[in-house]
Amino acid sequence: MQSYESLPDNKGHFEEFGGKFVPETLMAALEELEQAYKQSKGDKSFKEELDYLLADFAGRPTPLYFAKRLSDKYGAKIYLKREDLVHTGAHKLNNCLGQALLAKKMKKKRIIAETGAGQHGVATATVAALFGMQCQIYMGEEDIARQQPNVERMKLLGAKVIAVTSGSKTLKDAMNEAIRDWVTNVTTTHYLIGSVAGPHPYPMMVRDFQVVIGLETKQQIVEKENKMPTHIIACVGGGSNAIGIFYPFLNSSTGTARRARTKLFGIEAAGLGLDSGKHGAPLARGNKGILHGSLSYVIEDDFGQITEAHSISAGLDYPGVGPEHSYFKEKGLVTYDSVTDAEALNGFETLSKTEGIIPALESSHAVAYLEKLKMAKDDLVIVNLSGRGDKDLDIVKKAGLK
Amino acid sequence: MSRIEAAFTKANQENRACIIIYYPVGYPDYENSVVALKAIAKVADIVEVGIPFSDPLADGPTIQQASQQALSLGINTQKALEAVKEIRDECKTPLVAMTYYNLFYRYGLEKFVSDANKAGLDGVIIPDLPPEEADSWLNIAKNKLETVFLAAPTSVDNRLKQICRISQGFIYAVSVTGVTGERTNLPANLADFIKKIKSITDKKVAVGFGISTPDQVSELANISHGIIIGSAIIKQMKNAVSFDEGLNNLIKLILRFKKKGSHS
Ligand SMILES: Cc1ncc(COP(=O)(O)O)c(C=O)c1O
């Protein structure tokens, strides 16, 4: 067996997962992107420019915050990795800055992206403004309605927001339309995918741009506690914030019994319940299949037609998941579990009222998992707080929280 | 000689381009689609049987909408193969399925190849299966179904060579950098692109994506061995007030394509 560290292989596979299942028209662009990315990876000036932007524009490093009242409530030591404090309000900007620099390098003047919650759309519109690039964001009609504040922000930042009316009118369909735009405008346009999904090299590249979360966390927890965490929890939509924080801890998660082991928990959206058929949990209830350019777990019917996902959180309302997560699941490197809409709302309220931090509904899934996790007094738990919840106030009010 | 190659040879003997027509199973509904496909198979040289998929990345609005309608009425891969068998029982026209890889993957590659073979399918076109990912499929489909690969205007030379080497039946030359759907103008450098493919391979080349008018067909007939038309055909059905009128109009259009497809 290959080590996870050597993956993906040179064709973009995480064993059977991943790959490049896209129309021939895009193959040259994926190759160009991979080459540009590989060159940049070893390029000192690229790294310096990215580090500078991550620090002075995005506000990194983000704090690792000891949540005292939350710790008291659950009876273990709990820290929050504060990605909600990244400029624009979520971890999405980490990846957008990296890809925008690549787009500049490839001399692409136009950027397109899909967005669900609108956080990735806002982050993309932000980097487009920063670099003076044209920007078009695809967003499902249903998500436009439920994430209005982010739509307004994208427009203020100079992006054009296109309402997608096909299919389920959510993230999956926004991604279809973005890919169709890319197929049409591939020579002038960079497609800035917002998660570790899509064809190779995206899952690898987006992971690498998000790993900064985990690297900072590792250094910070050692400084503060002088030991490794026992548990890390993150929500999984496409899986970028989760893989970003997990990746540097995978070593210790596979360590022998004598070494400190960090258990990693990826939390999918159980929506109205896994048995209701209305959820966003392909790792829990999906099959292996091909969606949006890669082989991974997907939610589909008996004949391979992709079915609609459901989650109260637009960012987790997606029937697919990044291929590397499918690989981690298969190898048992990460534990995947899920949290319902109702439980996530509880998490939202709990964090708001015990710590004075309003989390995104996506991140609330990770927070809510504290209710389910069996913890001991000596445990050291880190929750990745992937984003802030201002965008979700309408949804939460409608759901009955006061 | 395979049935697909024979169709190109026959069209060439009749001094015209091979006319390949795409039509999706299940549109406007299953029964009528079988009637339409049978009628199309009687006039077209090759029929591309579209199997609707929920997320057709390479397709424009016309095929997307037809697919969604067919899916909402319950079309699936198994029914699509039943349709193939019904058409095959009535004619010898080559039948090539066009759909996305997930449908084959879910059905089971071996089971699909075996069932499709029994139903009388000749080949497949899978727009989201580039050569890099095609090994498992090709190993199983070998000698049972021909696999047509697509070449795009953005394909670099070594990719074009690989595509020409492994494509079976013909090479599908994608005319535009874009998705399927009617275009008023075809790219200026299309002739060069087709010539380039012909300089690499002796296999037949058929051009598709965006072709919608008899004039375009007439222009391409001297450049390309085959011409593929889809969205413009579906439009005839969509715009008609009844199924009979739609079928009548689309068959008339195919006959005009055949006529305009004469070599000059
Ligand atoms: C705050 C926040 N967290 C998480 C996600 C889910 O994405 P991923 O799983 O790639 O981190 C989103 C997506 O919109 C988001 O906005």
Residue A172: its chain B contacts at CB < 8 A? 55
Measure the CA–CA gap between A365 and A233, rounded to whole angstroms: 9
The average confidence (pLDDT) of chain B is 97
- Picking from A318, A391, A364, the residue whose alpha carbon sits closest to that of residue A114 is A318
Distance A118 CA to ligand 1 centre (A): 10
Identify any residues that bridge with A164 across adjacent strands, giving them in sequence order. A140
3-state helix, strand, coil in chain A (%, to 5): 50, 20, 30
Question: Hey, are the CB atoms on B177 and A302 less than 8 Å from each other?
Answer: no
Q: Ligand 1 pocket by C-beta < 6 Å: which residues? A: A 90, 116-117, 119-120, 195, 235-242, 315-316, 360, 362-363, 386-387
Give the best residue of B25, B53, B55 to mutate against chain A (max A CB count within 10 A).
Answer: B55
pLDDT at A276: 97
What's the confidence (pLDDT) of residue A258?
Answer: 44
Q: Residue B84 pLDDT more than 90?
A: yes
- Selecting among B5, B31, B59, B192, the annotated active-site residue is B59
Q: What is the dihedral of CA A29, A30, A35, A37, to 10 degrees?
A: 110
3-class state of residue A184 by DSSP: helix
Conformation bin of residue B119: beta by default, left when phi > 0, alpha when psi is -120 to 50: alpha
Q: What is the mean pLDDT of each run of 10 residues along chain A (402 residues)?
A: 88 98 97 97 97 98 98 98 98 98 97 96 98 98 93 98 91 96 96 98 98 98 97 98 97 56 96 97 98 98 97 96 98 97 98 98 98 97 98 94 72
Q: Which amino acid is at A351?
A: L
Distance CA A337, CA A324 (A): 16
pLDDT of residue A257: 46
> What pLDDT, on a 0 to 100 scale, did the predictor assign at position A239?
98
Residues, chain A: 402
List C-alpha distances in Å: B7 to A226, A242, B3, B11, B88: 74, 53, 6, 6, 15
Residue % of chain B over a pLDDT of 70: 100
Atom of ligand 1 nearest to the CA of A387: 1
Residue closest by Cα to atom 13 of ligand 1:
A315
Nearest to B200 by CA among B227, B167, B176, B228: B167
Q: Active-site residue among A168, A240, A364, A386?
A: A386
The pTM (predicted TM-score) of the whole model is 0.97
From the list A21, A24, A29, the residue facing B151 with the nearest CB is: A24
Q: What is the interface size between A and B, counted as CB pairs within 8 Å?
A: 126
State whether B159 and A289 contact (CB < 8 Å): no
User: From CA A270, how far away is CA A258, in angstroms rounded?
Assistant: 35
Distances (CA, A) of B14 to A371, B9, B22, B214, B263: 75, 9, 22, 18, 9
Which of B109, B51, B119, B108 lies closest to B84 in space, CA to CA? B119
The secondary structure of residue A63, as a DSSP letter, is: P
Q: What is the DSSP letter of A3?
A: -
Work out the angle between the directed axes of helices A341-355 and A361-368 (0-180°, nearest 10): 90
Long-range contacts of A252-255 (CB under 8 A, 24+ apart): A252/A228, A253/A333, A253/A334, A254/A333
Query: With the C-alpha atoms ordered A219, A220, A225, A227, is the resulting torsion angle positive or negative?
Result: negative
Q: Report the DSSP beta bridge partners of residue B174.
A: B208
Contact indicator for A305, B54 with CB cutoff of 8 Å: yes
Active site residue B5: no
Which atom of ligand 1 is found nearest the CA of A89?
Answer: 1
Res A266: pLDDT: 98
Per-residue pLDDT at B128 exceeds 60:
yes
Q: Which residues have CB under 8 Å from A160's CB, separation 6+?
A: A135, A136, A137
Q: Contact A229/A223 with Cβ under 8 angstroms?
A: no
Provide the pLDDT confidence category of residue B195 given band limits of 50, 70 and 90: very high
- Chain B hits for A176, Cβ within 8 Å: 55-57
Q: A360: distance to nearest CA of chain B, Å?
A: 29
Alpha carbon of A117 to ligand 1 centroid (Å)? 8
The two tokens of residue A388 are 């802030």
Q: B48 catalytic, yes or no? A: yes
**CA-proximal residue: ligand 1, atom 7 (nearest):** A237
Q: What is the pLDDT of residues B246-263, one digit of tens each?
A: 999 999 999 999 999 999
More confident residue, A373 or B183: A373
Which of these, A332, A210, A319, A231, lies nearest to A269 by C-alpha position? A319
Q: Is B206 in a helix, a strand, or coil? A: strand
Of A149, A121, A151, A148, the residue nearest A136 (C-alpha): A121
A34, A83, A114, A362: which is the annotated catalytic residue?
A114
